[in-house]
Each structure stands twice: as structure tokens, then as C-alpha cells.
Amino acid sequence: MMARLIALLARLFTGATSRWRGCAPEPRLRIYFANHTSNLDFLLLWMSLPQQIRARTRPIAAHDYWTGDPLRRWLASSVFRAVLIERKKVTRENSPLVPMCEALRAGDSLIIFPEGGRNLSGEIGEFKPGLHHLAREFPEVELVPVFIENLNRVLPKGEFLPVPILCSVYFGPPLKLEADEEKGAFLDRARNAVLALRAS
């Protein structure tokens, strides 16, 4: 209920259009990986999915930020069902990959941002190896490249009042890790898939 309301509001304000280019919105086990320019990226991507798919899709979010106060804690746990991961002081025990793998095993799709942090220039940075790890552990999962357009213009870093610029979310054809593909080559291919959506 609350999730639907928030999705509707965000949708009205960003005027977001979902453009499925190369795959359809189907309830399969997927990892949506996208460029990261704004704190609201995960929200926009998440609400661009049809309601049934959204209910089985969990965004990855920073543990320290989303447990900061009761409101954020409630949003992260009850509304977005975020998979909270540690950003600082990562050890083998609290490795961010552990909760991600658990979520996938439980049958939930994931939304991840493989650049690791926000890229404020609007460019797309190098991908961190986590995506490769997940692709190797879960070969049956479809890896869907996503490009989020214009959201960094709606709310640039350090601003608190958004402007109503129209956003688009592009979904590209799913990737899979090839049998003998090197880590670096795979990460480049994944990044290029997102870049290709920007050019389209």
C-alpha cells in the first residue's frame, strides 16, 4: 500500500517512462544493474517495474545510511525491502555479497549499482567485481543492464528541492557470463551494455 503510494508519487514527479529494449518485464529471477548518479536511483528503477515484479525485487542499499533514523529504517525494511550492505570496514564476515546471495536464493531479484558509488558527472565508471561474483554463483540468473537517464538533473548532489525534469529508465537485453570469460572482460562487457543503452 505505502509502497504503491510512494511509487506513484515518484512516478508523477519524475514523469518516468520505462523503456524495455531487448527484454520484457517478466517475473524471472534477475539482477538489474544500473548506472548510479543519484540517491534516488534505486527508487526510480524499482518503481519502473510492474507491481508484481516489484514485489519480488529488492534494491541494494547502504546499511549506514538506511538505518540512520526510524523513518529511513522503516522505509528500507518495510517499504522497499532493501538488502542492506556494509560500505565501510568490509570484512569476510560482513561481506556485502553474503546478503545478496541469500536474497537470490530466496527467489528475489536484485537491483544493484556496480560502480560502487555515485558518479556525479553523469559518466559511467568502472564496475566493481561483485557483479561477476554473483554471475558466477548464480549462472541461471538473468543480468539485465539498465540505464537511468536524467535523474541526476532532478536532484543534484547537495540539493534538497527537486526540479521536475522527465526521467527515463532503459532496460536492455539480458547478459550471461560466458563459459571461459575472464572477470575483466565480463565487467567491461556489462559496462558497455549500460553505455549502449545511453546511446540508444
Partner 1 sequence: MNLPDEQTLWIFGGFFLALTVATVIGWILQRTATGESGAKVIRNLNERVFAWWVMVGVFGAAIALGTTAAMTLFGLMSFLALREFITLTPTKPADHRSLFWAFFIITPLQYVTLASGWYGMTVLLIPVYAFLFIPIRTALAGDATDFLTRTAKIQWGLMVCAYFLSYAPGLLVLDIPDYEDQDAKLLFFLVAVAQSSDVFQYIWGKLCGRHKIAPHVSPNKTVEGLLGGGLSAIALGAALWPITPFTPLQAAGMAAIIVVMGFFGGLVMSAIKRDRGVKDYGELLPGHGGMLDRIDSLCFAAPVFFHAVRFWFT
Binding site for partner 1 (CB under 8 A): 15, 17, 120, 150, 152-153, 156-157, 159, 161, 163-166
CB nearer to partner 1: give 93 or 159.
159
CB of residue 150 vs partner 1: minimum separation in angstroms?
7
How far is the C-alpha of 138 from the C-alpha of 150, rounded, in Å? 32
CB nearer to partner 1: give 68 or 164.
164
Hey, what's the cell of 100?
545478496
Phi first, then psi, for residue 61 (nearest 5°) are -140, 160
CB of residue 92 vs partner 1: minimum separation in angstroms?
38
How far is the C-alpha of 132 from the C-alpha of 189, rounded, in Å? 11
CB of residue 156 vs partner 1: minimum separation in angstroms?
4
Residue 69: Cβ within 10 Å count = 9
Nearest to 130 by CA among 158, 175, 105, 100: 100
CB nearer to partner 1: give 161 or 179.
161
CB of residue 13 vs partner 1: minimum separation in angstroms?
10
Contact of 57 with 111, CB cutoff 8 Å: yes
CB nearer to partner 1: give 101 or 165.
165
Hey, what's the cell of 57?
525485487
CB nearer to partner 1: give 129 or 162.
162
Hey, what's the cell of 166?
522527465
